[in-house]
A and B are shown apart, each in its own frame.
Chain A
Amino acid sequence: MMASSYSAKEEDGHHSGAPGPGGVNAKSRKPDNTAFKQQRLPAWQPILTAGTVLPAFFIIGLLFIPIGIGLYVTSNNIKEYEIDYTGVDMSSPCFNCSQNYSWNSTKPCTCSVAFSLDQPFESNVFMYYGLSNYYQNHRRYVKSRDDSQLNGNLNSLKDPSKECEPYRTNDGLPIAPCGAIANSLFNDTLELYYNDPNGTKIPIRLVKTGIAWWTDKHVKFRNPVGDGSNLSAVFQGTTKPVNWQKYVYQLDTDPDNNGFINEDLIVWMRTAALPTFRKLYRIIEKQGDATPTLPRGNYTLLITYNYPVRSFEGRKRMILSTISWMGGKNPFLGIAYITVGSVCFFLGVVLLIIHHKYGSRSNNADIAS
């Protein structure tokens, strides 16, 4: 019976995997009796019960709370001063500028805002400008740039990417740098003066290099052709972005900070993630150990008001901040850590109670009940 069925199995050949004729030499189809194939690999089988996870909760709690406290203290030690100079209010010194100014204005409008610092800023102070309600993360805005052009590619310089449309060419000439991001470059100029108690305004030295990522400045952004000693020649045949007052090779006098490697441009081109953002504008370096970088006292912020924000009801701010190892001031992380740590600890306690009350049920002797 058995033997006869073998010949039967060949019929019409539509069955797969049927054992072939069981001849002497036929290899046995017996599966290997290995741990893997028989699914008997040594395994760790954790069972989540109150008893087993208790330590984890307590450890998390005990770790997170100190970290949170540390973060909170660090964040609190950061000194930050923020001033809104948009000029929405009538009383604001920049009200006039904000009302009149548009992209097409040729005459710069300046205004100055006075403020005072209650506490001295000891270490290096970072000066930011902040924009609110500014959606630099808009999809089509983010896309509207030509990285190849910014990297100094000559072809892209003359023939920018389609992504830059409609800020690709102007009057038949390619725009350098092309695209909506570059076109909307933040072009307010901020100057800071310390009002010495004796009445003189001492300008504070604002370092404008070192504000961009090193890699951006040295790798990603490059002027076309070498060092760009003669940038105007290099950018010959291109035109400035529509909203710009000057050409890209006129951004700065310092050749190392001009053209595409102008750090203000680079910083601007790194589009912000959230609609309320700040961007690093200048660095006020600590002069020496004796004096604080920004001593307590009155200051004046002199603004060349170029950048219109009324169209999107935005706000412009100037921010002075020291930084720590964790960056700028942000109490959230510290609080969050403390909270989560406490919750874990609390859960640990609850589980401990549960374990004591019901844990016996998971004891071995009683499993079968």
Chain B
Amino acid sequence: MTHSIDRLSCCFRRRENTGDSETTPLLRAPPQDPEIPLPAALHHVFPNNGPLSPSHKKVMDRYAGNKIRTTKYTFLSFLPKNLFQQLYRLANIYFVFLVAINWFPQMEVFHREITMLPLVIVTVASSLKDALEDFRRYKFDRIVNYRAASVYDWKQQDFVLKCWKDVRVGDFVKVVCNEVIPADILLLNTSDPNGVCHMETANLDGETNLKQRQVVRGFAASNCSFQPEHFGGTVVCEKPNKNLTHFKGYLAMPEKKKIGFGRESLLLRGCTMRNTDSAAGIVVYAGHETKAMLNNKGPRYKRSKLERKMNTDVLFCVGILFIMCLIGALGQYFWLGTFPSTPPFVPPDSSNVYIPPSLSGFYMFFTMIILLQVLIPISLYVSIELIKVGQIFFITNDVDLYDEETDSRVQCRALNITEDLGQIQYVFSDKTGTLTENKMVFRRCSIMGTEYCHKENALRLAALDEAESDEEDPAFPQKKVPSRLQFLKGKSAAALRRCNSARARIGVRGQAEVTLSPHSDVAFSSPLETDVAPDWRLQRITGDEAGQMEAWGRVSRIGGGACYMDFFLALAVCNTVVVSTAMHPRQRVTGPLNSSTLKSLGHIQTLLKRLGSLSHVIASLHSIPEKSGPTSPASPASPAGPPASVPAGDEVDRGGVTDSGSLNTSLEDSEADLPSSDDVPTETSANPNSDGLCYEAESPDEAALVHAARAYGYTLLGRTPDHVTVRLPQGSLLTFEVLGTLAFNSVRKRMSVVVRHPMTNEVIIYTKGADSAIMERLAKSAENQPEENKRKRIAAKTQRHLHLYAKDGLRTLCIAKKVMSLQAYTDWLAVRQEAESAIDNREELLMETASHLETNLTLLGATGIEDRLQEDVPATIASLRKAGIQVWVLTGDKQETAVNIAYSCRLLDQSDVVFTLSTASLDECNSFLDCTLEEVKRYGVQPPWQSSPRGLRGPTFGLVLEGHTLGLLFEAGLQLRLLELSRHCRSVLCCRVTPLQKSAVVKLVRDKLKVMTLSIGDGANDVSMIQAADVGVGISGQEGMQAVMASDFAISHFKHLKKLLLVHGHWCYSRLAGTVIYFFYKNVAYVNLLFWYQFFCGFSGTAMIDYWLLIFFNLLFTSVPPIVFGILDRDISAGTLLSLPELYKSGQNSEGYRHTTFWVALLDAFYQSLVCFFVPYLAYQGSDIDVYSFGTPMNTASLFTILLHLAIEIRTWTVVHWVVMVGSVLLYFIIALSYSALCINCNHPSNPYWIMENQMADPVFYLVCILTTVLALLPRYTFRVLQGTLALSPLVRARQLDMLSPQVRDSLIREWRNQESTSEAVPDQVLSSPTKPGSPTEPTVDRGLTLHKDGNEDTGNPFSPGHRRSISTMTI
């Protein structure tokens, strides 16, 4: 019987559009209409449940299989393809060019084979790297391809296990609970009687809440039993595309019927099936054509800013090379012209023909390119890659960036932009999950005007936080439990007494860490955060109330005590939370109980009129509820009283054990797999978790509220579409009949649940929502004055508490209720159903009807939920700010929440003037921009990130932007003005922005302001923004992988950004900048030796240094020290960098590597090469020295000069530096000596035999080397000394700080910071009060400039400042 009703209602419900159940903007569906024509190009899927006809087969064969291949090469194609790709690189083309011209004998400088050496080395090295990477991808692909999926095989007439790769389009696939969906599947059947299933899209968008999917409605309605073998339809849908939010198509059934379906029936590959035993469907897209894979493009190749600059400088080098070669060519030409006839030392070419001077000059040009090839620092590219590998090694090994909880280090996914971390000017951050933990915690509540601050809860959370950070020893997890308890004991004995549940939690948590399994059954499985330690005052009251409950009916009706029960019942009932046990995942149904029959517009309009009159009826009915409530036997005497808590007298006798027993039986009827009813009554509220209930909520707030109610004994036990079961503190069960649910809606900002009280039979509406949405809907009129006054007092008190909560950065919700008669409800329901069935203006109509119901509410109380900020977020943001980084928050959240969080994480400050732009009209936008720009300019403030003169700061501005306004601005081309405004603002907050808008904002700032941007986020909605920014950071750990996959760096907490940027970014930048400059210098300095020699060898291209030594010089003798420098050099210690974020500005201003730096380095290189050449030249002038002996002291002196030059630049000498430096010199001598001792006849024409030995036996050699080195380094050394003495840049000052003892350093740092902060803070205080148009006591918003689409949003409280964590920022 019940079953058949269920079936009916399920069929009934299938017609419902459930698109509203998702909160992710990315996956939010526009209202679906299956009748909208499909795109011309269609995707036909024929079911694979029998032999396909040839024409069908032809169509189906075109579709991709489910096998994925993300590798670039195959085994065979690797070599040709890889070589080809390498040749695309400019550096390799250069090498090939050199090899080619060296092949001509006229230009040959070195042996042909030797010129090929660098090419071969570079090519082989990068081939190996590519091969390894590709192999890794191959292995991953393999794992994925060989996962098992249950696929229908028409030969065996059953589902069989197949590998993922063998799944084809058209296959029927069955997915069971907790399985990953192998392909994009059109849902045709689920085990759920309502035809829904749930999937977790964490892999796609990082959201762990569940998305509901629905069996193709028409299909299920027409054919309730699903058998693959009898499926005769054809699926027609869109061609594969990467739009996750859009999917449309129809089922062409054999009986020429078309059944439309939309996105709500599509299961996406990569998502995980949850809470549904099994679901089956037909594969529509497979493999690379799935939406997930189409969205899963590899990260774009990024080039760091420094590298871009470097490349332009490489072009300068090319220019220099060109000039030098030209000089060589002309020199050769003119030199040959100076001789009256052919001299004996200019041999003819091999065919005994003398080359004419012009041709000889032409050849010489290319010869010089070969000779001076090192000028183009190809070795730099290789070295940079090595350096970055080293830098990444150190970043990933930073123990400070390690997250114990998830056992994850920071991941560097982009290997070539580490130094960009040191140059960030703008940070764009997501809010939820990035700044906050996305874990809602019930913190405080206010009931009937009394505030319960839940001190114990706060204490517990604090204690847990500390205990968490205390855990150092993951090897002995069991030991942690007692130690933590001891810790708690020490913390507060009172807290412990009240913390029974908390203790249980801790124990569970300790084990949970050990037994984390990859396949946990529940989405919301973090008991720690959701658990609440009850406020003891409140608990006593509720306990009293529960005692009164036992004597049900004898309680005085007027007493306010029962409000508490109502309050908690509201918390437990008014939600869409799905209950499941750890063992048995359970289905959940949301959505109102209505059918959707389509009605004409005219009909609706008449209905609307009726509705208008009805509202009056409802209002009047409510004022005299006694008369109009025929089905409620005992209505409350006054609306202000607690109606639901007053049961009829005869029901009292049936209460207690017998009552709950009967309730349980009825419960079992409707729900087959509820936790066994036997143990339900025996449980006590002290141990609420042993029943293993898990709450899965669409929004974490709801879960938090339900958990809070449970802490006070009001345990939500089960929820079906029709019933909600709540266990009361005494253990009895109450099952409410759910009459309707008005789902949450961002415009209404509230949700309501209409239930029928099981005992009083009253229809009760529980509403919860934003204070702005509830407060004005409270019942206005009351019969007697005292009641009225009392209510006003309560409302005022609650409002005050709400302000308090908001100030604390808590998310506030008001809880209200309303009792109405069944008749009134039925009347309303009729109207509602009309609205439901409307086609046009359906949304508005639904809203209208909803607000009709949600009037005349009785305020029960308010809750404060903390969307807990992640650890150290305010401190991190403050540090980033100090470092000159602009922080923007882009969030999909609603404005109030966003602003709230912005205050609590100190993005917005109390003293900030906040402009809010939220309007739908372009004119308003325009005038707003005009006004604010004028306003801002009146203060004449410079953009805050520019260093303004000390002590002359006006007020700081904040800008809050609404998403659709942003879209409007972009459409109207007002971006630049917006940008101009934003540059004057200290912080910008964009709320309700779509992923696309996020990336548009990032691109706008990046391209128009020409700044370095960083995006940080954790969900799929941040992916586009992460990819748009110069540096994308994904938050890993808690959420899905999508953001991480798109990111360049993945960290586990927002706070890690601080060290990542301020320390590692700074280091990487300063290291790499130093290294790049050094490489340019080194190459020029060395190669110029050869160039100067051309003036003395008739521009003939002779190298006076043996070319093996030439090659080794770059390859061995001087390569390792700069690489070590690039990896290990540390200009300032991490501690100093963290405590003085201002030092980061040097990287932002690119102080380490500018064009001037480059040219100075080049000038220095020219000078040094001149010294290195001409000192030996003058010393050996006119002597009998031979070519290669002449080159030896030059080479040696150059080596010393170049290495000691680096030594001047090195700021930290560790053992490694010493070893490498000394090793390089030793290596040079060892190789040079052994080479010239062994190479008697080799290496034509230099014949180095015994040259080195001879030179080293000559004292002049040493004298020349010493003199050369000293003279060459003298200018730079002196310059650095003067820099360190006279021009004390912040970096030098910080370095000097580093030298001091820790104590002195700390005090000096404090002093330094105080100076800066006073120079900033004092004028702030002076200026803030007179410039404020509002009252000085409320330093909030310039309201004249706050624009809203609808006026009622201006609640004020979100703009109140939050100073909760102010202490932590100052003392580091």
| A253 proximal to B (CB < 8 A) | no
State whether A2 touches B516 (Cβ < 8 A).
yes
| B583 proximal to A (CB < 8 A) | no
Smallest CB-CB separation from B1314: which chain A residue? A368
Q: How far is the CB of B375 from chain A (nearest CB, A)?
A: 18
State whether B1179 touches A332 (Cβ < 8 A).
yes
| A202 proximal to B (CB < 8 A) | no
Compute how far the CA of A236 lies from the CA of B1006 in the bound complex, rounded to whole angstroms: 81
State whether A7 touches B519 (Cβ < 8 A).
yes
Smallest CB-CB separation from A312: which chain B residue? B343
Query: Which B residues between 1195 and 1222 are near A, CB-CB below 8 angstroms?
Result: 1208, 1211-1216
Compute how far the CA of A247 lies from the CA of B230 in the bound complex, rounded to whole angstroms: 106
State whether B340 touches A138 (Cβ < 8 A).
no
Q: Which of A48, A166, A274, A313 contacts B347 (CB 8 A)?
A: A166
Q: How far is the CB of A292 from chain B (nearest CB, A)?
A: 24
- If the complex has contacts A2-B1038, A278-B1184, A354-B1286, are A180 and B345 also in contact, measured as CB distance less than 8 A? yes
Compute how far the CA of A128 lies from the CA of B144 in the bound complex, rounded to whole angstroms: 82
| B1244 proximal to A (CB < 8 A) | yes
Q: B639-673 CB contact bits vs A (8 Å, 1 = yes)?
A: 00000000000000000000000000000000000
| Interface pick from B168-176, B241-249, B946-954, B1290-1298 | B1290-1298
Q: Which of B137, B1179, B1254, B1280 contacts A330 (CB 8 A)?
A: B1179
Smallest CB-CB separation from A22: which chain B residue? B516
| Interface pick from A30-38, A83-91, A92-100 | A30-38
Q: Which of B404, B413, B1180 contacts A30 (CB 8 A)?
A: B404
Compute how far the CA of A326 lies from the CA of B1260 in the bound complex, rounded to whole angstroms: 6
Compute how far the CA of A7 lies from the CA of B201 in the bound complex, rounded to whole angstroms: 12
Q: A37-53 CB contact bits vs B (8 Å, 1 = yes)?
A: 11101111111111101
State whether B349 touches A273 (Cβ < 8 A).
no
Inter-chain pairs besides A48-B1284, A311-B344, A314-B343, 11 sampled, C-beta below 8 Å? A6-B520, A13-B140, A22-B516, A47-B1284, A47-B1295, A135-B1098, A165-B350, A219-B1249, A220-B1247, A310-B340, A358-B1286
State whether A13 touches B1263 (Cβ < 8 A).
no
State whether B1184 touches A45 (Cβ < 8 A).
no
Q: How far is the CB of B1096 from chain A (nearest CB, A)?
A: 5
Compute how far the CA of A38 lies from the CA of B411 in the bound complex, rounded to whole angstroms: 16
Among A29, A46, A140, chain B packs the most CB atoms within 10 A around the CB of: A140
State whether A31 touches B409 (Cβ < 8 A).
yes
State whether B345 touches A136 (Cβ < 8 A).
yes
Compute how far the CA of A362 lies from the CA of B1102 in the bound complex, rounded to whole angstroms: 50
Q: Which of B68, B1177, B1295 contacts A45 (CB 8 A)?
A: B1295
A278 partner residues in chain B, CB cutoff 8 A: 1182-1184
Smallest CB-CB separation from B367: which chain A residue? A139
| B515 proximal to A (CB < 8 A) | yes
State whether B1300 touches A364 (Cβ < 8 A).
yes
A332 partner residues in chain B, CB cutoff 8 A: 1178-1179, 1181
Q: Which of B347, B525, B1184, B1263 contacts A167 (CB 8 A)?
A: B347
B1160 partner residues in chain A, CB cutoff 8 A: none
Q: How far is the CB of A153 from chain B (nearest CB, A)?
A: 8
B399 partner residues in chain A, CB cutoff 8 A: 30-33, 37-38
Compute how far the CA of A60 lies from the CA of B522 in the bound complex, rounded to whole angstroms: 75
Among A22, A67, A347, chain B packs the most CB atoms within 10 A around the CB of: A22
State whether A8 touches B202 (Cβ < 8 A).
yes
State whether B347 touches A311 (Cβ < 8 A).
no
Q: B532-556 CB contact bits vs A (8 Å, 1 = yes)?
A: 0000000000000000000000000
* B contact residues, total (Cβ < 8 Å): 147
B1189 partner residues in chain A, CB cutoff 8 A: 273
Q: B308-350 CB contact bits vs A (8 Å, 1 = yes)?
A: 0000000000000000000000000000001111111111111
| Interface pick from B761-769, B1267-1275, B1356-1364 | B1267-1275
- If the complex has contacts A2-B526, A128-B1184, A340-B1271, are A333 and B518 also in contact, measured as CB distance less than 8 A? no
Compute how far the CA of A280 lies from the CA of B207 in the bound complex, rounded to whole angstroms: 87
B137 partner residues in chain A, CB cutoff 8 A: 14
| B394 proximal to A (CB < 8 A) | yes
Q: Which of B180, B520, B1186 contacts A4 (CB 8 A)?
A: B520
| A159 proximal to B (CB < 8 A) | no
State whether B408 touches A361 (Cβ < 8 A).
no
Q: Which of A5, A18, A279 contacts B208 (CB 8 A)?
A: A5
- If the complex has contacts A4-B200, A134-B345, A358-B1286, are A272 and B1297 also in contact, measured as CB distance less than 8 A? no
A166 partner residues in chain B, CB cutoff 8 A: 347-352
| A15 proximal to B (CB < 8 A) | yes
B525 partner residues in chain A, CB cutoff 8 A: 1-4
B1296 partner residues in chain A, CB cutoff 8 A: 47, 362, 364, 367
State whether B1270 touches A368 (Cβ < 8 A).
no
Query: Which B residues between 1004 and 1061 are near A, CB-CB below 8 angstroms?
Result: 1036-1041, 1044-1045
| A17 proximal to B (CB < 8 A) | yes
State whether A23 touches B343 (Cβ < 8 A).
no
State whether B347 touches A3 (Cβ < 8 A).
no
Query: Which A residues between 182 and 212 are near B, CB-CB below 8 angstroms?
Result: 183-184
Q: Which of B270, B405, B1211, B1299 contacts A2 (CB 8 A)?
A: B405
- If the complex has contacts A11-B203, A271-B1186, are A38 and B1263 also in contact, measured as CB distance less than 8 A? no
* A-B contacts, 21 listed (Cβ < 8 Å): A3-B522, A6-B520, A12-B292, A37-B397, A39-B394, A42-B1214, A44-B1212, A49-B1284, A128-B1184, A151-B1241, A166-B348, A219-B1240, A274-B1182, A275-B1097, A280-B1184, A311-B344, A312-B340, A330-B1183, A333-B1267, A343-B1274, A364-B1296
Query: Which A residues between 126 and 151 are near B, CB-CB below 8 angstroms?
Result: 128, 130, 134-145, 147-148, 151
Query: Which B residues between 1280 and 1336 are near A, CB-CB below 8 angstroms?
Result: 1280-1286, 1288, 1292-1293, 1295-1300, 1304, 1308-1309, 1311-1312, 1315
For the complex of A and B, the 8 pairs showing the least CB-CB separation, nearest first, are A13-B140, A273-B1190, A3-B520, A312-B343, A165-B350, A184-B344, A180-B347, A166-B352
| A351 proximal to B (CB < 8 A) | yes
Q: How far is the CB of A81 from chain B (nearest CB, A)?
A: 14
State whether A39 touches B1271 (Cβ < 8 A).
no
State whether A15 touches B200 (Cβ < 8 A).
no
| A71 proximal to B (CB < 8 A) | yes
| A66 proximal to B (CB < 8 A) | no
| B1259 proximal to A (CB < 8 A) | yes
| A16 proximal to B (CB < 8 A) | yes
| A158 proximal to B (CB < 8 A) | no
Q: How far is the CB of A188 from chain B (nearest CB, A)?
A: 14
Q: A223-260 CB contact bits vs B (8 Å, 1 = yes)?
A: 00000000000000000000100000000000000000
Q: How far is the CB of A9 from chain B (nearest CB, A)?
A: 6
B338 partner residues in chain A, CB cutoff 8 A: 313
Compute how far the CA of A336 lies from the CA of B1269 in the bound complex, rounded to whole angstroms: 13
A184 partner residues in chain B, CB cutoff 8 A: 344-345
B1182 partner residues in chain A, CB cutoff 8 A: 130, 274, 276-278, 328, 330
B54 partner residues in chain A, CB cutoff 8 A: none
| A270 proximal to B (CB < 8 A) | yes
Smallest CB-CB separation from B178: which chain A residue? A7
| A19 proximal to B (CB < 8 A) | yes
State whether B1181 touches A330 (Cβ < 8 A).
yes
Q: Which of A12, A37, A162 contacts B144 (CB 8 A)?
A: A12
Among B202, B526, B1254, B1264, chain A packs the most CB atoms within 10 A around the CB of: B202
- If the complex has contacts A28-B474, A312-B339, A367-B1308, are A1 and B208 also in contact, measured as CB distance less than 8 A? yes
State whether B408 touches A19 (Cβ < 8 A).
yes
| B874 proximal to A (CB < 8 A) | no
A369 partner residues in chain B, CB cutoff 8 A: 1315
Q: How far is the CB of B1267 from chain A (nearest CB, A)?
A: 6
Q: How far is the CB of A4 from chain B (nearest CB, A)?
A: 5
Q: How far is the CB of A300 from chain B (nearest CB, A)?
A: 24
A23 partner residues in chain B, CB cutoff 8 A: 516-517
Compute how far the CA of A130 lies from the CA of B1184 in the bound complex, rounded to whole angstroms: 9
State whether A67 touches B1263 (Cβ < 8 A).
yes
Query: Which B residues between 14 and 40 are near A, CB-CB below 8 angstroms?
Result: none
| B1277 proximal to A (CB < 8 A) | yes
